[in-house]
Structure 1
Amino acid sequence: MYWFLPLFLMFYLGRQADVKYAAVSGAILSLFVSSLNMVYLGYLLLHGQKFAGITLSRMGAFLRQPNIHAFLLLGVLPLLFCAFRDKTIRSNRLFFALQIMAAVLGLWSLWKTGSRGGMFGFCTGGLFVFLAVYFREKIGRVVFAFVLTGTILFSGYLFFGITPGNHGYDDTIRLRMLSFSYDMWKDHKLLGVGLANWHAEYVGKYVKEDVVRKAAMEYYMARIKKTNEKFSAKNAANMQKAALKAWSRVYMPHNVPAWFFSATGSIGGIGYVIFVLFYLYMLLQKLREQPGNWMLAAGLWIFLAINIHGLLDAGITDKGIARLLYLMLGLGLSYACVDKATERF
């Protein structure tokens, strides 16, 4: 509930005054600040500086974990792109130029995070909103389903090849996380293990050491084959030891539905599904009624993007991400309830 409070605050503020231009100005400023820090980090890395968890191919502004930074970008970039539909903004050349520059820097930053989930969520959410606005009649439903399905399949393949960094090993780790979380849910189907107990239960009972050791060994063998190194039993043992140590620091399964089902059981997991479906239905209904309301469209886009990315990472289980999502939902819904939108898509 504490993380949810920004929704009520921004809903109230949005009802009191027309704050959409202030919101866009804040998005532009935040993107300039964070993206310029990404440029600075890239400069330092090129000159030999080292930072824990940050590489030249995968960065997060202010040394933030790249995937978390991608989430934060998803919370502001859709607002900026939807605001391009506003005639008042387009008529102000200086502001419009700054908006374009911030959008380009933001997209570059999203790519530099190397987050496939972030890019996939951004693109899929944007396509969903675009089709929801332009194909509201029955004839558009077939087009919508066809294009969306094709985009999902194609983007999943495409982003594997164009995002910076090596993701193959990460993918197998996520699959094991899901497998171990599923085992946890099977033992605690109704109520789960409890939010505060998840880490201890996961590491103590459900992380299978033999599976982790085998995977680490496969990774080591693939690496020495690629680099033509000689096999070293000591290095192989160290690789397995490091893998087990890394698993001891896992505090979430990098999948929001898996987190809720394993931590809070079927009751909490179904609650999360209802939460997503309810907001999706409500936002879509409001957008059909007010297709020119670009603040509402931005709220739907952000909601979709963050929850899609949440299938591969922390999502709303992270405090900062949850607060940003609820803040933007509050703004979008305030414009849905009081139709202040004068522009049309």
Structure 2
Amino acid sequence: MSASHTARFANFFSALFTFIIIVKFSSNYSTYAWIIGSVFILFDFFISYRNNTPIFPELNWSRIKLPLAGYLVLYVSILLASVFTFDISNIKLCLVFLKFSLPMWFIIYLNGKFNATNGILTGITAGSAVISGLGLYQWITHSVPENRIYSVFTPFPNMFGTMLILLLPFLFYTLFHVKKKSCKAIVLIVIAGMLISLLGTNSRGAVLGLAAAGIVCLVAIFLSALKSHTLSKKIILSMFSMLILSCSALGYMGLINHNRFGSFSNFNNGEERVLLWKASYHMWQDHKVLGIGFAHFNEAYYSPQYHPAEGKEKNLGVPHSTPMHFLACTGLIGLIGYISHLATVIITLFKSLVTKHNKVISIVFLGAFTAFTTQGLIDMSITSKTPAQLYFLLFGFFLSTISRQK
């Protein structure tokens, strides 16, 4: 089989893999993505061996060694914290979290070796169309509790909102990537559906994440144009779009908060998450180095030692804040690992933004990363299966793109 035929297969499999990671009727559906991925890799190993060609992608690893080191520090740190609690349930849950990141490696392999950009963007567009379409159907038919969209793919509106804000920057990237006007029109319709679906989730964290992404991308685009001494119509349009998006998102978040609490002054008294964060901090104070273990947060929170008298919600198994989750469950060791991941990604993005070839994909992933990290401050991110798998898939797309450039 020729290299061109194999590349077409790679784009097809990457589209299918990406689509399944986005669209799944239960968490078990990701198994199908792994079956598809394994079939292609075995097939490619055979073709590469028969044609006597390199099996693994030939990337410029020096460009991505820093974020990969940060990724390694993250998972080694939480594994160490879990191991030294001498509790097998903590270790098992840590390995589950590690498994969430596997899409990154599959996409690095596919996109790094075959340039599967078209396939990945096709999967993103098709998957986004399905989840936003069904989400809008729920909203229109009032078939969900409190009329908050959560789609049929995620159990909570906030989780669905997280997926939407991760995908939106890459849909804008697709809009500029495709050439046909008919394709651009389809992508625009999907973007509109995604934005309306996001409003329907009433997720403050997701809306805040989108607003932060818009502001950060606006600054990045402006500084990039300033550095290159170019201010084209496309750049001006992009900056204006980011400004409108951010202002609209911030205004809508304020409206959600007002409808729920009446005023920001009532937030502290009416929000259970504040109680969760305070309890998480107290857990860390008693277990500063290793934390209480991922498997025991629910047990600890509802114990007389940590459960606040004002707490009303039941079965809260996480603190609804990624930094507090690492701090309470893995102590300083895990929190240092999480911060290492964030820091190495930020440094890599900064380096990529100043290069000529990687600028666009870097701004796109900067938007997704900012939205995801901001949302993670008041909800869950890389320790939640569905959004974590999607985040690492997009992270792998970014890493393989910037390391593939000559």
Q: Please state whether the residue corresponding to 1:211 is helix, strand or coil.
A: coil
The question of 1:122 aligning with 2:210 is answered yes
300, 316, 323: which one aligns with 1:257: 323
When structure 1 is superposed on structure 2, of 249-258 and 9-18 the one drifting more is 9-18
TM-score, scaled to structure 1? 0.75
Q: CA deviation at 1:258?
A: 0.4
Percent of aligned pairs sharing the same letter: 25
172, 177, 183: which one aligns with 2:282: 183
The question of 1:69 aligning with 2:143 is answered no
In structure 2, list runs of 5 or more residues that go unmatched.
1-97, 230-242, 262-266
What is the alpha-carbon distance in structure 2 between the residues aligned to residue 59 and residue 257 of structure 1? 26
Q: 1:202 to 1:155 in 2, by over 3 A?
A: farther
The question of 1:272 aligning with 2:369 is answered no
Q: 1:93 to 1:256 in 2, by over 3 A?
A: same
What is the alpha-carbon distance in structure 2 between the residues aligned to residue 155 and residue 261 of structure 1? 33
Aligned residue for 2:136? 39
157, 166, 170: which one aligns with 1:79: 170
Aligned length, in residue pairs: 287
What is the alpha-carbon distance in structure 2 between the residues aligned to residue 156 and residue 30 of structure 1? 23
Q: CA deviation at 1:175?
A: 1.0
What is the alpha-carbon distance in structure 2 between the residues aligned to residue 84 and residue 268 of structure 1? 38
The question of 1:98 aligning with 2:186 is answered yes
CA contact (8 A) 2:163 2:390 kept: yes
Q: 1:43 to 1:16 in 2, by over 3 A?
A: same
The question of 1:158 aligning with 2:224 is answered no
Alignment of 1:44-59 (within 5 A): 44-45=141-142, 49=143, 51=144, 54-56=145-147, 58-59=148-149
What is the alpha-carbon distance in structure 2 between the residues aligned to residue 156 and residue 258 of structure 1? 25
CA contact (8 A) 1:71 1:321 kept: yes
The question of 1:26 aligning with 2:123 is answered yes
What is the alpha-carbon distance in structure 2 between the residues aligned to residue 29 and residue 194 of structure 1? 38
CA contact (8 A) 1:20 1:295 kept: no
Aligned residue for 1:7? 104
CA contact (8 A) 1:114 1:164 kept: no
Q: 1:122 to 1:290 in 2, by over 3 A?
A: farther
In structure 1, list runs of 5 or more residues that go unmatched.
141-149, 213-242, 341-345
TM-score, scaled to structure 2? 0.65
Aligned residue for 2:74? none
Aligned residue for 2:369? 303
99, 109, 120: which one aligns with 2:197: 109
Output the amino acid matched with 1:210. Answer: A
Aligned residue for 2:291? 192
What is the alpha-carbon distance in structure 2 between the residues aligned to residue 173 and residue 155 of structure 1? 26
What is the alpha-carbon distance in structure 2 between the residues aligned to residue 211 and residue 164 of structure 1? 20
CA contact (8 A) 1:114 1:165 kept: no
CA contact (8 A) 2:208 2:253 kept: no
Q: Please state whether the residue corresponding to 2:354 is helix, strand or coil.
A: helix
What is the alpha-carbon distance in structure 2 between the residues aligned to residue 280 and residue 78 of structure 1? 17
What is the alpha-carbon distance in structure 1 between the residues aligned to residue 400 and residue 205 of structure 2? 28
CA contact (8 A) 2:290 2:330 kept: yes
What is the alpha-carbon distance in structure 2 between the residues aligned to residue 290 and residue 335 of structure 1? 13
What is the alpha-carbon distance in structure 2 between the residues aligned to residue 259 and residue 135 of structure 1? 34
Q: 1:108 to 1:278 in 2, by over 3 A?
A: same
What is the alpha-carbon distance in structure 1 between the residues aligned to residue 349 and residue 188 of structure 2? 27
Alignment of 1:184-333 (within 5 A): 184-212=283-311, 243=312, 246-247=313-314, 249-290=315-356, 293-333=359-399
Q: 1:205 to 1:317 in 2, by over 3 A?
A: farther
When structure 1 is superposed on structure 2, of 112-121 and 156-165 the one drifting more is 156-165
Q: CA deviation at 1:22?
A: 1.9
Q: 1:155 to 1:103 in 2, by over 3 A?
A: closer
> Which digits, 9 at most, give the CA deviation of each residue in 1:262-292, with x for residues without a partner?
0000111121112111111112211221465
